[in-house]
Amino acid sequence: MSIDWPALRAAAVAAASRAYAPYSGLRVGAAGQAADGRVVTGCNVENASYGLTLCAECGLVSALHASGANDGGGGPGRLLAVAVVAGDGEPLLPCGRCRQLLLEAGGGELLVDTADGPVELNVLLPAAFTGADVSARRDPATGAVP
């Protein structure tokens, strides 16, 4: 499936215009294309307690799951491509937390828009921590991670 990057960026810009950013003034929008062709968006939502602020990518992945599209596997709701932009329309790279979140929604092959063009997420998040790491480290007696 081909990715219409200009349309994805435009959807991210539209999402950024709806961001709630009264503290930083940095509006961020994210748009992702799922394997079934749907485009899902999210925007940042700040909070006076900065630790409670939600990144645009969090909103995007939440919307993806809330729509029932992402089963956590390689199904039709798996993200194929993501564009994240500031309010000025210029690309922003996802923070580390969001790279981890996007990994579970699209895998290492997820294409992330950058100022230099699309890059696979596994390049931006090498040696990623995955569900396999959790499974491998569980305590067999309790099922808990040691």
Q: Is 78 within 8 Å of 69 (Cβ atoms)?
A: no
Distance between CA 144 and CA 107 in Å, rounded? 25
The angle subtended at Cα 31 by Cα 25 and Cα 34, nearest 5°, is: 160
3-state secondary structure of 4: coil
The yes-or-no answer on residue 90 being catalytic is no
Distance between CA 13 and CA 137 in Å, rounded? 41
Q: Supply 39's token pair.
A: 């485009």
So which residues are the catalytic ones?
Answer: 57
